[in-house]
């Protein structure tokens, strides 16, 4: 059944629960359904939770509780598959799928918010040049969708306070603009130019749409200039290990999270 989750877990002593993902066979009539592994992070008492779908790098779902986040995950997966399909990736957005729990982190800092202190197992595995190039292109697609939507909004719409709690559209977009450079700098040591672009957008010196496209171009240039050693490196920092793959994951997840947030607003982007 589409979106069905099969969860089994063993408690860990370090606040991580894990389950071995089932093998997935594909390509013939008796094949098992496509199954996405879920990596969760939850704050105290498993309240605010973020679900990371690392098989669809960039896809996340969030909720005020673990159950809420898990309930939102099938919809997030379907939306992300549609996003990939409309940008030309070979994926059937209507193919049925299942999910299974791989890891659940419940101890640490900033959990449930996309904690920068967490490194999941796949974050530490070297990525091929082809995979890295594909993720950078995926980031360009996300930036392009944010840019295209921002270009349709008037100043009044961008600055209108929402009916309920939350930030204005402009505040959300500026927040999304400001994180790409720090993510890359944490993995690579430096990421020049990003602060200038986000600062110009914040001060009204550069249109938001233009700023998103410029950030995507800067990201591509910085990643293109990485050495093989930088692409493989695992930097052990006080705040936790950093890798280029983890930086790309968080860049994608962060933009997707806020594109999804905006999609729930009146006149928001369609996912």
pLDDT digits (tens, 9 = 90+) for 168-201: 999 999 999 999 999 999 999 999 999 999 999 9
pLDDT at 107 over 80: yes
pLDDT of residue 30: 36
Residue 68: Cβ within 10 Å count? 15
pLDDT of residue 49: 97
pLDDT of residue 165: 86
What tens digit of pLDDT does each residue of 143-162 get? 999 999 999 999 999 999 99
pLDDT at 21 over 70: no
pLDDT of residue 44: 87
Q: Tell me which residue of 102, 101, 104 sits closest to 118, measured CA to CA.
A: 104
How many alpha carbons lie under 13 Å from residue 211 in its C-beta half-sphere? 26
- At residue 135's C-alpha, the angle toward residues 130 and 140, to 5°, is 125
pLDDT at 9 over 50: no
Mean pLDDT (whole number) for 64-79 = 97
Mean pLDDT (whole number) for 216-223 = 98
pLDDT at 42 over 70: yes
pLDDT at 105 over 80: yes
pLDDT at 26 over 70: no
In DSSP notation, 15-63 reads: SEEE-PPPP---SSTTPPPEEEEEEEEE-GGG-SEEEEEGGGTTEEEEE
pLDDT of residue 13: 31
pLDDT at 12 over 90: no
Q: Which residue has the higher pLDDT, 18 or 225?
A: 225
- Percentage above 70 pLDDT, the chain: 88
For residue 76, what are its two tokens?
A: 């997030």
pLDDT of residue 17: 55
pLDDT at 216 over 80: yes
For residues 206 and 197, the answer to whether their CB atoms sit within 8 Å is yes
pLDDT of residue 31: 53
pLDDT at 20 over 50: no
pLDDT at 3 over 60: no
pLDDT of residue 142: 98
What tens digit of pLDDT does each residue of 112-149 get? 999 999 999 999 999 999 999 999 999 999 999 999 99
Q: What residue ranges define each of the domains in the chain, with the CATH number in brackets?
A: 4-118 (no CATH), 122-263 (1.20.120.450)
Mean pLDDT (whole number) for 103-119 = 94
End-to-end CA distance of the chain: 22
Q: Tell me which residue of 202, 83, 76 sits closest to 140, measured CA to CA.
A: 83
Segments of the chain assigned E as strands: 4-6, 16-18, 34-42, 49-53, 59-63, 97-105, 235-237, 240-242
3-state helix, strand, coil in the chain (%, to 5): 45, 15, 40
pLDDT at 8 over 60: no
Segments of 156-254 assigned E as strands: 235-237, 240-242
Euclidean distance between CA atoms 202 and 180, whole angstroms = 15
For residues 41 and 52, the answer to whether their CB atoms sit within 8 Å is yes
């Amino acid at each position: 059944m589409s979106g069905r989750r099969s969860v089994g877990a063993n408690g860990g002593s370090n606040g991580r629960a894990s389950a071995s993902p089932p093998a997935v066979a594909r390509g013939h009539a008796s094949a098992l359904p496509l199954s996405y592994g879920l990596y969760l992070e939850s704050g105290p008492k498993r309240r605010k939770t973020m679900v990371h779908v690392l098989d669809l790098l960039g896809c996340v779902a969030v909720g005020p509780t673990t159950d809420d986040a898990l309930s939102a995950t099938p919809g997030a997966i379907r939306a992300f598959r549609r996003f990939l399909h409309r940008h030309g990736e070979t994926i059937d957005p209507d193919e049925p799928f299942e999910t299974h729990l791989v890891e659940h982190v419940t101890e640490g800092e900033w959990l449930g918010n996309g904690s920068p202190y967490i490194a999941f197992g796949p974050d530490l595995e070297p990525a091929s040049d082809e995979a890295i190039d594909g993720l950078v292109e995926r980031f360009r697609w996300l930036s392009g969708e944010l840019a295209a939507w921002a270009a349709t909004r008037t100043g009044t719409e961008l600055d209108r306070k929402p009916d309920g709690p939350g930030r204005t559209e402009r505040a959300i977009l500026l927040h999304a603009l400001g994180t790409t450079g720090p993510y890359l700098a944490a993995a690579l040591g430096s990421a020049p130019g990003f602060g200038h672009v986000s600062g110009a957008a914040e001060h009204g010196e550069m249109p938001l749409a233009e700023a998103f496209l410029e950030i995507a171009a800067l990201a591509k240039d910085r990643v293109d200039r990485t050495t093989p050693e930088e692409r493989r490196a695992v930097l052990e920092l006080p705040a936790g290990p950093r890798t280029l793959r983890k930086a790309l994951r968080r860049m994608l997840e962060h933009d997707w999270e806020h594109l999804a947030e905006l999609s729930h607003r009146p006149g928001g982007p369609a996912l």
